[in-house]
Chains A and B, each alone.
Chain A
Amino acid sequence: MLGIFAGWLGAVVGIGGGVVIVPALVLLFHFDTKVAVASSLVAVVATSAAAGSAYAGSGQLNMRLALTLEIATTMGGLAGGVVAVLIAPTVIDGLFALVMLVTAFLVLRGRDEHGEVVGEAGAVDVGAHGDPHADSHAETVSPVPTVPDAAPAMAAGSDDPVLACAEAAGGERAGAAAMVASGKRVGWEERGRLAGAYHDLTTDALVTYRAIRLWIGWAVSFVAGLLSGLLGVGGGFLKVPAMHLGMKVPIKVSAATSNFMIGVTAVASLFVYFARGYVLPFAAAPVALGIAVGAFFGAKSSQRVSGRTLGRILAGVLILVAVQMGLKALGIANV
């Protein structure tokens, strides 16, 4: 049951569930911390694989964005392993708690101010469910077009916004198709590769987006990898806000992309634990089985949960873990 709950939460929010697994295994089942961390990493990989396989078919997983950020995350993970022997764990724990509290605040503030739907002037009209006064610059929403054969027209250079949406439905690159007509200079993020589109089932609208400020994603991903190497967590709790708030990627895409990323990141750490004998199959197997089931249903249900709800769940998880880590840093709790 612990695994199922952690898996659902992880898939919906975009974290690996390790923040639930590790303290539960140590406090409730009295496992050694390193064994608990190794079991958590197994669970993180299972969550990532289960949710990632579900997300891959939904259009929410942006593979190019994932691997672009994964470079920084895995490098951070390597650095984290080295830094771990030089810095007192309490310093890291305190920093951890502070970062998560700030992030939770930003997520709640961002949701309240900008709402669920935003638009981009001059690209694609905001759809029937959109907020015309929103001020983000990277995400556009439009009703799902009813003309399925419109893609060829856009590929040929049409500037019709409805046709642009139809074309954008074809895949992750095409979110930048709406920029084509302007012929403006484009960079790494705007090349149609760190952009995309997905059909939001909660609003029945096609959401197109393009990632901006890639440097933020790289920087935070490096830090997430660093913390992953230090603490044995996936780091999705940092990457999801970074992608959503910093890079203006829709939260559902951020969660889906993060879910795939955390599995890749966890693999590097898990190999080390595996090689050193910290993997306890009898402890990890039940958790992995439960979390895979929970993650699968979490990924399915996330398509029917509003982005606002996702943001609140994310903020709640961040605050809970921040309190947990803060108590540990102060020596009050030995988790």
Chain B
Amino acid sequence: MSDPVVPDEQLGRPADPRTNTLVQWVLRTGLVMALALLIVGLIVQMSTSNGQAVQVRMFHLLSTAPAGTKIMGVGMLVLTLTPAVGVLSVVGSWIRERDTRFVGVGAAVVAVLAAAVLVGLAG
């Protein structure tokens, strides 16, 4: 933690408000899409399957499940991807800002997430 002295103008540089706006848009859009799919899927499921609960696997969404469950499963996949897309959008914003230190931080998070997905799928 012994970085060199940072010039005043670097410390005083205001943050890019587009980053938070972008994240806000990504999270809100992903959430609205996911919730809309969940609502539609729930209605379809209740009207066609008497409310019977069915488990789904991520990569079998379109082949084995009833229509309502498929729609809800896609909604959950959209919901699951939303924070990950949010992280990617933040990293993209920092790339645009040429903030190399935090581009590295974001890339590390993405790498660990990718590793976690691979470990999960392999297990």
Contact = CB atoms under 8 A, between A and B. Distances in A.
Interface of A: 35, 42, 45-46, 48-50, 52-53, 56-57, 59, 61, 63-64, 67-68, 70-71, 74-75, 77-78, 81, 151, 154-155, 157, 167, 170-174, 176-177, 179-180, 183-189, 191-193, 214, 260, 263-264, 266-272, 274-286, 288-289, 292
A192 B6 CA distance: 10
Interface residues of B, number: 72
A52 B116 contact: no
A301 to B, nearest CB: 18
Most chain A CB within 10 A, of B16, B52, B113, is at B113
A186 B42 contact: no
A275 B14 contact: no
Given A67-B87, A180-B12, A186-B3, A53 B24 contact: yes
Contact of A74 (B6, B23, B109): B109
Contacts of B62: none
Interface of B: 1-6, 8-17, 19-21, 23-24, 27-28, 30-31, 34-35, 38-39, 41-42, 45, 51-59, 69, 72-73, 75-77, 79-84, 86-87, 90, 99, 101-102, 105-106, 108-109, 112-113, 115-117, 119-121, 123
Given A61-B23, A174-B12, A191-B11, 14 more contacts: A45-B80, A49-B27, A59-B20, A81-B119, A155-B13, A180-B8, A185-B3, A186-B3, A186-B11, A192-B13, A272-B120, A280-B55, A285-B38, A285-B72
Contacts of A260: 23, 83, 86
Contacts of B1: 187-189, 214
Contacts of A269: 116, 120
A57 B116 contact: no
B113 A268 contact: yes
Nearest to B101: A193
B82 to A, nearest CB: 5
Contacts of A171: 14-17
A301 B2 CA distance: 40
A109 B113 CA distance: 36
B76 A274 contact: yes
Contact of B120 (A48, A177, A271): A271
A174 B13 CA distance: 7
Contacts of B113: 74, 264, 267-268
A264 B84 contact: yes
A276 B13 CA distance: 47
Contacts of A274: 57-58, 76-77, 80
